[in-house]
């Protein structure tokens, strides 16, 4: 390995910059030239590349987002687009790629490897934390902390007015953020895509809790939850419980931004370093994760095709602590 390219793709996540920094500096330490590729696979196709120095990644470990930018790229879904990306890799004499992102990013990397044989290693960067083969993805812990800080503030105003807040968090297909943040803020109910929604059960639960003279109630809803998200849940509650003062809050993209937590900075640094070592040692077509505090190597096919199950013990805990 003489040259390694690095890109970020898909949704941004706090800690991506820490991973980029680790990749660049590990490359330099090993006398490998790091090439930054801007705007994900779009930059690969459009040849938006630059040789990075250690100075280029100074003072970015604490910044959210990604200095390499990210973009959705419909061209990369086509054979012609991927071929152009491969030609640019050859023209720039890049020997391997490190891609930072989620399942869509890794699905693209898998196809690219199968077509052209370019060694590719992935680093999991998604606040959804829904990739198989790693306990944590970069950005997940930071997003959790952002949600908890926001909901704590909402709880203050909810308590002042005896209100019920329905709060929507990210997680179109996965409820990890909703479940853990719900436990963390002491939510009265948590609705996630992985479990059946019984709206009547929710109504009964809220009514039972209201008889306990709770000063406020918080319901956390994942955006992809089967009942339709926070607004749909709120309308159902209003129609069945007119006595409740119901408010809706959509946290939205605030969850993606902000300075990464200490956990995400260290995780990203470890994964960035391990990704370079993996390519240097001949690995390809795999994701570098963290399992039981140790670095793990998972083929892309497993990482993107194996659903990660919600921990049933956490579901039970959320029910026990919400009484």
pLDDT, tens only, 166-200? 999 998 888 999 999 999 999 999 999 888 766 77
pTM, whole model, 2 decimals?
Answer: 0.93
Which residue has 């209003």 as its token pair? 238
Q: How far is CA 199 from CA 18, 206, 226, in A?
A: 42, 11, 11
Q: How confident is the model at residue 125 (pLDDT cuts 50, 70, 90)?
A: very high
Which residue has 């990644």 as its token pair? 57
CA dihedral 286, 36, 254, 177 (to 10 degrees): 10
Query: Does residue 2 carry a pLDDT above 80?
Result: yes
3-state secondary structure of 141: helix
Query: Does residue 311 carry a pLDDT above 80?
Result: yes
Q: Is 95 a catalytic residue?
A: no
Domain boundaries, the chain: 3-139+260-305, 141-256
What was the pLDDT predicted at 243? Answer: 85
* Exposed e or buried b per residue across 107-144, where buried means at least 16 C-beta atoms within 10 angstroms of its C-beta: bbbbebbeeeebbbbbbbbbbbbbbbbbebbbbbbbbb
Class of domain 3-139+260-305: alpha beta
Class of domain 141-256: alpha beta
pLDDT tens digits, one per residue of 8-51: 999 999 999 999 999 999 999 999 999 999 999 999 999 999 99
Q: Which of 12, 128, 130, 264 is catalytic?
A: 128
The alpha carbon of 247 is separated from its chain's Cα centroid by a whole number of angstroms, namely 27
Q: What share of the chain is helix, strand, coil (3-state, %, to 5)?
A: 45, 20, 35
């Amino acid at each position: 390995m003489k040259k390694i390219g690095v890109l970020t793709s898909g949704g941004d996540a706090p800690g991506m910059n820490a991973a980029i920094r680790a990749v660049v500096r590990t490359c330099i330490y090993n006398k490998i030239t790091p090439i930054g590729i801007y705007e994900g696979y779009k930059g690969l196709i459009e040849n938006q590349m630059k040789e990075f120095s250690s100075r280029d990644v100074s003072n970015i470990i604490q910044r959210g987002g990604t200095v390499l930018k990210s973009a959705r790229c419909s061209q990369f879904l086509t054979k012609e687009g991927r071929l152009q990306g491969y030609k640019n890799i050859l023209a720039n004499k890049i020997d391997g790629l490190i891609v930072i992102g989620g399942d869509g990013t890794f699905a693209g990397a898998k196809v690219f490897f199968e077509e052209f044989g370019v060694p590719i290693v992935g680093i999991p960067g998604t606040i959804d934390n829904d990739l198989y083969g790693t306990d944590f993805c970069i950005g997940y812990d930071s997003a959790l902390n952002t949600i908890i800080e926001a909901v704590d503030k909402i709880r203050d105003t909810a308590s002042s007015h005896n209100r019920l807040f329905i709060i929507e968090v990210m997680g179109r297909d996965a409820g990890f953020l909703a479940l853990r943040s719900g436990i963390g803020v002491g939510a009265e109910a948590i609705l996630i895509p992985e479990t059946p929604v019984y709206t009547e059960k929710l109504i009964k639960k809220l009514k039972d809790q209201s008889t306990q003279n709770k000063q406020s109630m918080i319901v956390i809803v994942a955006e992809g939850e089967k009942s339709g998200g926070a607004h749909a849940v709120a309308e159902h509650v209003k129609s069945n419980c007119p006595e409740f003062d119901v408010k809706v809050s959509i946290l939205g993209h605030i969850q993606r931004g902000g300075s990464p937590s200490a956990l995400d900075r260290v995780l990203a640094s470890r994964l960035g370093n391990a990704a370079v070592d993996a390519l240097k040692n001949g690995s390809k077509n795999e994701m570098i994760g963290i399992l039981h505090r140790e670095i793990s190597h998972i083929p892309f096919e497993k990482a993107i095709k194996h659903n990660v199950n919600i921990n049933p013990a956490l579901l039970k805990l959320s029910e026990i602590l919400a009484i």
